[in-house]
Amino acid sequence: MTDPLAEVVQMLRPRGVFSKRIAGTGAWGVSYTAFGHPGFSVMLEGRCRLAVANEPEIVLEQGDFTLLPTTPAFVISGFGDVEPVQMDPRQMTDDDLDADYTGGQEPEVRLLGGSFVFDAPDAALLGALFPAVVHVRGVERFQPLVTLVADEALHDRPGRELVLARLVEVLLVEALRTSVTPQAPPGLLRGLADRKLAPAVQQMHEHVDKPWTVAQLSRVATLSRSAFFDRFTRQMGMPPMEYLMAWRMAVARDLLRQADLGMVEVGRRIGYGSASAFSTAFSRHTGESPRHYARRSALGQPLALG
């Protein structure tokens, strides 16, 4: 049986992590502009506040892991009133120094923050499938991982960034897996936690080329057509056919990056009987033709995120 969550993560192909250590004492704060790509934080010591745009404020504690799938604007700070330092994550590089807001005093807070670098970015897909904030606390299997991340982050050993990249990738998968609960916000994680919807979502992923209808999917879910449509839309955050189209186009983008596949074959694999039908659907969904997308991918040019 296909694992939709694993498919999404594997398709994104995380290939690296940009990370920086942050230390703070007393009244301190940093305001980051929207980034668009996945960001994360691991609380190494102490407590601080995280305020993500349009989301309730969270108090982060030692051992917490936070994932922002598309990293909107956010502020991370201590508990005193302060005008936060303004930062643009798009202008940060590996050469930037770790951030120290201690004023020369002993740090009260230490955390590791950063972002993922994906080989096949699809921010629109992430934004649609996952909640704006994934916050993990008190999960026993997480603790050894967080301990390893803290140990690597606080010591400048050879190969530090490579080890951190691998550890944080594992944290990413574990964070999403842990968040597959009925209490998750609408999206893939909540849909997979629904025992009625999960088989239908799995079938859509396993047989993406099948000409699915709402009636067929409702039978997989053992629900009436109307009950399935309403439940899917409520739990997944979008109607069934809209989700199927988004997933088909994500698969198509991934296949188009493989130079040995032609338009006919890519279209066939996601359920289109002709290259013209596939091209029309792809262009309507992404705003560019599949040939243009494939050409830019081959040249290493930035890929559209929409």
Give the domain ranges of the chain: 4-178, 194-298
Q: In the structure, what pLDDT confidence band is assigned to residue 122 with cuts at 50, 70 and 90?
A: low
pLDDT band (50, 70, 90) for residue 213: very high
Mean pLDDT, range 76-80, rounded to an integer? 94
Tens-digit pLDDT profile for residues 237-261? 999 999 999 899 989 988 888 767 7
Is 194-298 the same fold as 4-178?
Answer: no
Confidence of residue 207 (pLDDT cuts 50, 70, 90): very high
Q: Mean per-residue pLDDT for 113-122?
A: 68
For residues 43-66, give the mean pLDDT: 93
Does this model's pTM top 0.85? My answer is no
Using 50, 70 and 90 to split pLDDT, how confident is the model at 126?
A: low
| Confidence at 3, pLDDT banded by 50, 70, 90 | confident
224 CB neighbour count, 10 Å cutoff: 13
Mean pLDDT value of segment 184-189: 85
Residue 89: the pLDDT is: 82
| pLDDT band with cut points at 50, 70 and 90 for residue 78 | very high
The mean-pLDDT minimum among 74-88, 116-130, 143-157, 218-232 falls in 116-130
For residue 234, what pLDDT band results from cuts at 50, 70 and 90?
Answer: very high
pLDDT of residue 260: 76
Q: Which CATH architecture has domain 4-178?
A: Sandwich (2.60)
Q: Which CATH class is domain 194-298?
A: mainly alpha
Residue-averaged pLDDT of the chain = 85
pLDDT over 90 (residue 302): no
